[in-house]
C-alpha cells in the first residue's frame, strides 16, 4: 500500500500533480532500483530506463485526462451553482478513455514493428491489470472532483448544500444524505 500527501498553496491540485501521483501508482519504481531489471513479468525484465520512459509517457497522458476531469467538474459547478454539490459525480465517464490511452501506449511498437516494451505490453494486456487501472483512475478522478466541489462549497459556504457538503466531508452528515453518498463512491445511500 502506498500512502501519500498532496499539498497545495491554497488552490486545487493542478492536473500535472494528479497525473504524477496516479502514474506513480501505475508504475511503481523503487528508489533503490538499479539499471538492471526493476521488475520481472512472465520472465521478461523491465529495465529502469524503460520503466521511467513509460512512466513519463503515462504522466503526460494522465495530465490531459485529469485536466479534462477538473475542467468538466468546474464547468458543471459553475452551471449548476450550489445545487451542483448534491448532483451525481460523473468520474466514471472519463475512465474508459484514460485506460484506453494507457493500454495503447503499453501496446506500442517500435520502428521495426516489434513491441516497444515487451514486458510492459505483456503486463498491461492482463484483464486484472486493466481492472486495477479502472479502479485507480475512478478513485483518483472521484477525489479530484470532490476537491473541485470542496472549493465550490467554500465559495458558497452559507448555502444549505454547501453546509451539507462540508458536514459530509467531516463525517457528520447522515448516511442517507446525497452529499454523504457522493463523497464516498463505494457508499450507496438508501433511496427513500
Domain edges within the chain: 19-26+37-156
State how far the Cα of 159 lies from the Cα of 155, in Å rounded to an integer. Answer: 9
For residue 175, what pLDDT band results from cuts at 50, 70 and 90? low
Whether 32 shows a pLDDT value over 60: the answer reads no
Q: Is the pLDDT of residue 35 over 80?
A: no
Could you tell me which of 123, 142, 144 has the C-alpha nearest to residue 186? 142
3-state DSSP assignment of residue 37: strand
User: Where is average pLDDT lowest: 9-13, 75-79, 148-152?
Assistant: 9-13
Question: pTM (2 decimals)?
Answer: 0.83
Round to whole Å and give the CA distance between 92 and 173.
24
pLDDT tens, position by position, 90-148: 999 999 999 999 999 999 999 999 999 888 898 899 999 999 999 999 999 999 999 99
pLDDT digits (tens, 9 = 90+) for 19-30: 998 998 888 754
Query: 103's torsion region: left (phi>0), alpha (psi -120 to 50) or beta?
Result: alpha
The CA distance from 38 to 88, in Å, is: 41
What pLDDT score does 174 carry?
65
pLDDT of res. 12: 78
| β-bridge partners, 109 | 115
Amino acid at each position: 500500500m502506498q500512502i501519500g500527501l498532496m499539498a497545495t498553496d491554497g488552490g486545487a491540485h493542478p492536473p500535472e500533480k494528479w497525473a504524477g501521483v496516479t502514474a506513480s501508482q501505475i508504475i511503481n519504481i523503487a528508489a533503490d532500483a538499479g539499471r538492471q531489471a526493476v521488475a520481472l513479468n512472465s520472465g521478461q525484465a523491465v529495465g529502469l530506463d524503460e520503466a521511467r520512459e513509460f512512466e513519463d509517457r503515462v504522466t503526460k497522458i494522465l495530465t490531459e485526462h485529469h485536466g479534462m476531469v477538473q475542467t468538466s467538474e468546474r464547468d458543471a459547478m459553475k452551471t449548476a451553482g450550489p445545487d451542483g454539490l448534491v448532483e451525481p459525480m460523473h468520474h466514471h465517464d472519463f475512465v474508459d478513455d484514460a485506460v484506453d490511452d494507457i493500454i495503447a501506449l503499453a501496446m506500442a511498437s517500435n520502428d521495426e514493428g516489434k513491441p516497444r516494451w515487451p514486458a510492459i505490453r505483456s503486463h498491461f494486456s492482463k484483464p486484472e491489470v486493466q481492472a486495477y487501472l479502472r479502479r485507480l483512475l475512478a478513485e483518483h478522478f472521484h477525489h479530484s472532483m470532490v476537491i473541485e466541489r470542496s472549493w465550490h462549497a467554500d465559495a458558497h459556504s452559507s448555502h444549505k448544500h454547501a453546509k451539507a457538503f462540508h458536514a459530509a466531508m467531516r463525517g457528520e452528515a447522515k448516511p442517507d444524505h446525497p452529499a454523504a453518498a457522493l463523497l464516498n463512491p463505494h457508499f450507496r445511500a438508501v433511496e427513500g
